[in-house]
A and B are shown apart, each in its own frame.
Chain A
Amino acid sequence: MKNTFLLLIFFTATFINAQDQYSKGMEKAMQLWSEQKITEASNLFERIAMAEDDNWLPYFYISVVNTTASFGEKDEQKLTQQLEKAKEFLDIAKRLSPDNAELLVQDAMINTAWMAFDGATYGPTLSPKNMQLYQKALQLAPENPRVILSKAEWDMGSARYFGKDTTPYCKDVERALELFATFKSDIPFYPSWGKERAEQVLAECKA
Chain B
Amino acid sequence: MNNAQSSWAKTIIMKNFLTILFLSIIWVSSAQTTISGTVTDQSNNPIVGANVYLEGTYDGASTIEDGKFSFETTETDTQTLVISMLSYEPHYEVGDVTYLKNLNVQLVEAINQLTGVTLSAGTFEAGDNSKVSVLKPLDIVTTAGAAGDFVAALQTLPGTAAVNEDGRLFVRGGAAGETQVFIDGLRVFQPFNATANNIPTRGRFSPFLFKGITFSTGGYSAEYGQALSSVLLLNTTDTPDQEKTDIQVMSVGGGLGHTEIWGDQSLSINTQYINLSPYEALIPSTQGISWNSPYESISGEAVFRNKADKSMFKLYTGFNHAELDINQEDINFEDFVRFQLTNNNLYFNSSYKYFFDNDWTVTSGASISWDSNDIGIFENKIDAKETGSHLKLKVKKGFSSRFNLYFGAELFNVDYEEIFEAPDGFQSESAYNDQLFGAFVESDVFFSNKFAMKLGARVENTSVIDKFTISPRVSLAYQSSEKGQFSLAYGGFYQNPLTEVLRYDQTLDSEKTSHYIFNYQYLDNGKTFRAEAYYKDYDNLVKFDTELPQFDSQFNNLGGGYATGLDIFWRDNKSIENLDYWISYSYLDTERDYRNFREQATPNFAPKNSLSIVTKYWVDKLRSQVGLSYNYGSGRPYDNPNTSDFLAEKTKSFNNLSFNWAYLIDQQKILYFSVNNVLGFNNINNYQYANTPNVDGIFDRQTVRPSADSFFFVGFFWTISTDNKSNQLDNL
Contact = CB atoms under 8 A, between A and B. Distances in A.
A124 B729 contact: yes
A124 B730 contact: yes
Interface of A: 13, 16-17, 20-21, 23-27, 30-31, 33-34, 39-40, 43-44, 46-48, 50-51, 67-68, 71-72, 76-77, 80-82, 85, 112, 116, 120-121, 124-125, 127-129, 131-132, 135, 153, 158, 162, 164, 188-189, 191-197, 200
B394 to A, nearest CB: 26
Contact of B723 (A21, A23, A72, A131): A131
Given A162-B667, A193-B7, A197-B4, A132 B241 contact: yes
B666 interface: yes
Interface residues of B, number: 60
Contacts of A132: 241-242, 723
Contacts of B2: 71-72
12 contacts: A13-B28, A27-B23, A43-B60, A46-B51, A47-B60, A50-B53, A120-B618, A128-B241, A128-B723, A188-B19, A192-B15, A196-B7
Nearest to A21: B58
B197 interface: no
Interface of B: 1-13, 15-16, 19-20, 23-26, 28, 48-49, 51, 53, 55-62, 82, 84, 86-87, 114-115, 128, 136, 138, 241-242, 525, 573, 578, 580, 618, 623, 664, 666-667, 722-723, 725-726, 729-730
Given A68-B5, A193-B12, A120 B580 contact: yes
Given A33-B12, A67-B5, 9 more contacts: A26-B16, A50-B55, A50-B56, A68-B6, A125-B138, A162-B664, A162-B666, A164-B666, A191-B12
A33 B525 contact: no
Given A20-B25, A72-B2, A197 B8 contact: yes
B3 A200 contact: yes
B481 to A, nearest CB: 14
Given A17-B26, A47-B53, A124-B729, A81 B136 contact: no
B11 A31 contact: no
Given A120-B618, A191-B12, A77 B573 contact: no
B573 A24 contact: no
A24 B13 contact: no
B9 A34 contact: yes
Given A43-B51, A77-B114, A81-B86, A131 B242 contact: yes
Contact of A192 (B11, B580, B623): B11
Given A26-B16, A27-B20, A196 B725 contact: no
A127 to B, nearest CB: 7
Contact of B5 (A71, A76, A129): A71
A85 B1 contact: no
A81 B114 CA distance: 9
Nearest to B50: A43
